[in-house]
Structure 1
Amino acid sequence: MSIIPLQLLQLQEQGTHILVEVMLFDTVHLMVLDTGASKTVFDKNQLEQIHAEQFQLETTDTLSTGLGTNTMQSFLIQIPIFKIQDWSIKNYKAAVLDLSSINYAYEQMNLQPVIGVIGGDILAPYGAIIDYKKKTLKLLKRRLKLK
């Protein structure tokens, strides 16, 4: 089991965001941990600004729901290795969306942009346990067999 440090970010009256450092294309980034998100998604704009030569986006006909719309164009990305501290997934296929609304809000609060959102496709099958008091995330190294 991996024990991963978290940052709790108080967003004035909007509540709390849980942030975690991840390693993507050998670079450290911040991601939001979102227990309500069904899928992990990466921000198209951040990927293109920082890692444009390191990946190829696949187009998809799927329109994504969430972030105030159900008509957002989505893409797919194949990530050779996605790491969170000593926990990792190899050849991880994830969705890529325009998350500029999140990063715009962060920019307005003078906060660092995030590269994406970690969702249920990682949290559930790896038995995620969030400990708010200790500010940690526990993830199993192997997938659970969920039905």
Structure 2
Amino acid sequence: MTTIPLKIIELQGDGYHPLVEVFIFGKTHLLVLDTGASKTAFDRELLQEANEEAEFLESDKLSTGLGTNSMASFTATIHDMQIGTLRIPAFEVAVLDLSTINHAYGQLNQPQVLGVLGGDILMQYKAVIDYGNETLTLISY
């Protein structure tokens, strides 16, 4: 079990986004913790910058949400991501153009995010999100 601090950011009095730090490609990155996202997704451009050797496979699935239902998507296999003390050896992520999220965050003086941590990881590791204590707990067996 690992408990990770969350950074809760306010969006102009219009709601909140919890951010979580992950360690990947030898560097710490931020992800939006998104219980509404069925799959973890990374921004294509930022993923390419973080790992020039990243290989993208075109997906036949269209991404829904994020304001569109016709966004072309890709997938990539991510090796050795760490969240707190939890190491995730290999898993597939959706790779999308998430630049609008980072543009909006920039307008609000918020940090850039690599992507979203979605339901695939949250379910697999039995996530417990505690807004009161601003923590995310993940359990691996």
Could you tell me the TM-score, scaled by structure 1's length? 0.91
3-state DSSP class of the match of 2:104? Answer: helix
Given residue 56 of structure 1, which amino acid in structure 2 is its aligned partner? E
Does residue 56 (structure 1) correspond to residue 66 (structure 2)? The answer is: no
**RMSD, aligned α-carbons:** 1.1
Instruction: Give the match's secondary structure for 1:28.
Output: strand
TM-superposed deviation, 1:54: 2.9
Partner of 2:31: 31
Runs of 4+ in 1 over 3 A off after TM superposition: none
* 1:11 corresponding residue in structure 2: 11
Rounded to whole Å, the distance in 1 between the matches of 2:36 and 2:129 is 13
Q: Distance in 1 between matches of 2:35 and 2:60?
A: 25
1:110 CA drift (Å): 1.8
What SS does the aligned partner of 1:13 have? coil
Q: Counterpart in 1 of 2:68?
A: 69
Q: Distance in 2 between matches of 1:106 and 1:141?
A: 32
For residues 27-63 of structure 1, what are the alpha-carbon distances to aligned partners after superposition, in whole Å with 9 as ceiling and x for unaligned?
1000000111111100112112332x23111112211
Q: Which amino acid aligns with 2:30?
A: L
Identity of counterpart residues, as a percentage?
Answer: 50
Cα distance, 1:14 vs structure 2:
2.2
Q: Which has the higher strand share?
A: 1
Whole-angstrom distance in 2 between the partners of 1:17 and 1:79: 24
Name the residue aligned to 2:110.
Answer: 111
- 5+ unaligned residues in a row in structure 1: which ranges? 143-147
Maintained 8 Å contact 2:5/2:20: yes
Question: For 1:131 and 1:111, how far apart are their aligned partners in 2?
Answer: 21
Residues 43-89 of structure 1 show CA distances to partners (whole Å, capped at 9, x for unaligned) of 112112332x2311111221111101111111111111111110121
